[in-house]
Amino acid sequence: MTTTAKKPGPSSAKADQLANLAKGLEGVIGGSTSVCSIEQDKLIYRGYEIHDLAAHATFEQVAFLLLEGHKPSDAELARFKAELVAERRLPPLVIDYLKKSKELIDSKAAVPMDILRTAVSLLGNLDMAAQVNTADANLRKAKRLTAKIPTIIGHMQNVIDGRAMIDTETGGDPKLDHAANLFWMMTGNKPTKEEAHILDVSLTLYAEHEFNASTFTSRVIAGTLSDMHGAVTGAIAALKGPLHGGANEAAMEMLKEIESFDRVDAFMKHAFETKRKIMGFGHRVYKNGDHRAAILHKLGKVYAEKKGAQYAKWFQIGEKVQRIMLEQKNIHPNVDFPCGMTYYAMGIPVPQYTPIFVAARITGWAAHIMEQHADNRLIRPLSIYTGADERKWNG
C-alpha cells in the first residue's frame, strides 16, 4: 500500500498565533497620544470636538492648537498667522522643479501627489535645520511646511494649467487667510467668502485623525530618529493610495462615471455583482458613520445648489449612492465622499484633492512627529512566519 506524506501544518502555537492575528493591525493599540482621540461618535483634537471646531474655529486656530498644543489667544493667533504668511514663499530650486510638473504628469511618470512628495523632500535638502530634531527646530519646520505646501500645490496647478505661477515672490496674497490663499494660488480666482469658508472647514476636518496609515507611517519614520521632512515625505507616499487619502479623488471619478441620476441603480447593481469597491464608503474605526461627512456634505450641497443644477446634480447622484449603500450594505460614507462632490462644485481640479488633504494633514502629522521625537521608542512589531520550513541549501 502506498501512502502519501502529508505536508506538515503549522505548529499548535503558531496556529494559535495565526488565529489571533489582527490583519492590518486592526484593533491593535500602537501607542499613546495626546493629539487626537477617536470615539464612536466623536473626533477630538486636543480636547476639542470636531463639530465644535468646524463651527467656531478657523483652520489657523486648529493648526495652532495641533502644533503648539493649546487654544491660541488673539495675540498668539496673530503671531502664528504672520509666521505662516512669512514662510509661504518657495526656494528657487523648488520652483524650478515645479516648472516640470506638466511634463512629468503628461508623460504618466507622476501624478500631483508624487510632485508634492518630491517638492517636500527638496525642501528638506534646503532647510538648514533639517537634521535637527529638537522641539524648537521641529516646531519651526512644521510651520514652514504648513505654509509652503499650499504654495507647492498652487504653483504646480498653475503650470499644469499653462498659467504663469502666481505670486512667486510672496507665495500668495498676504491679506488672504490660509484656505483662501490656497484657493487663489491654485485656481487663479479670489474665493468668495462662502468658498473660503468651505475650504477652511474642509482643512479642519482633514487636519488630524489619530493613528491612520499616513500618520502611523510618519511616526514609524520619526521613531528611527529620522527628520521631520523625511517623515512627512513618507506620510505623503502613504496618503497617496486610494484606500487612504486618494479616496476623495476616486469617489469623484466614480460619480463622473455614473454621470446621471437615472444610471445609479444599474451602476450599483453591477458594482455589487462584480464586487467593485465603492470609494468613499466605510471606515476602519467609524462603524456607524463618519461624523465629519455630514458637516462637509451640508456645506457642499448648499453651495452647489446655489451654483446651479449642473453642480447640484452630483449631490443628487451621491445621495442616491449613499442610500443604496446604507440599505443594501449598511455602510455609511466617510468624509472623502462629500469632499469629492464639494471640491468639484468649487472648480478644484480632481487630481489636487489629495494634495489639499496634505495641506491640512501636515498639521496632524507634524504634531505626531514632534510627540514621537519627544518620547521616543523605536516602533518594531513582530510577525508570524508562514513560509517554507527550514531546509538545506545544498540538500
* Residue among 57, 54, 59, 26 at smallest CA distance from 42: 54
Domain check: are 72 and 94 in the same one?
Answer: yes
- Please give the backbone phi and psi of residue 368, each rounded to the nearest 5 degrees, phi first: -70, -40
**Domain of residue 318, residue span:** 247-345
Q: What is the mean pLDDT of each run of 10 residues along the chain (395 residues)?
A: 49 70 77 91 94 98 98 98 98 98 96 98 97 97 98 98 95 97 96 98 97 96 98 97 88 95 96 94 75 95 97 97 95 93 96 96 98 96 88 90
Where residue 267 sits, what CATH number does that domain have?
A: 1.10.230.10
Provide Rg for the chain, Cα atoms: 23
* Residue among 232, 94, 90 at smallest CA distance from 151: 90
Secondary structure letter of residue 23 according to DSSP: G
Res 256: pLDDT: 95
Please state the domain count of the chain.
Answer: 2
Res 11: pLDDT: 64
Residue 330 resides in a domain: yes
Domain check: are 91 and 202 in the same one?
Answer: yes
Residues 6+ apart with CB under 8 A from 385: 14
Res 164: pLDDT: 96
Annotate 206-241 with DSSP letters as a single string.
HS--SS-HHHHHHHHHHHTT--HHHHHHHHHHHHTS
- Judged by phi (left if over 0) then psi (alpha if -120 to 50, else beta), residue 350 lies in alpha
Nearest 5°: the CA angle 137, 61, 144 is 30
Q: Are 337 and 298 in contact (CB under 8 A)?
A: no
Secondary structure letter of residue 192 according to DSSP: P
Domain check: are 227 and 183 in the same one?
Answer: yes
Q: How far is CA 251 from CA 20, 55, 158, 293, 306, in A?
A: 33, 25, 24, 13, 22
Where residue 205 sits, what CATH number does that domain have?
A: 1.10.580.10
Q: HSE-up of 360 (CA within 13 Å, CB side)?
A: 22
For the chain, list the strands marked E by DSSP.
Answer: 36-39, 42-45, 48-49
Q: Which residues are catalytic?
A: 244, 283, 336
Reading the block at residue 99, the C-alpha cell is 516648472
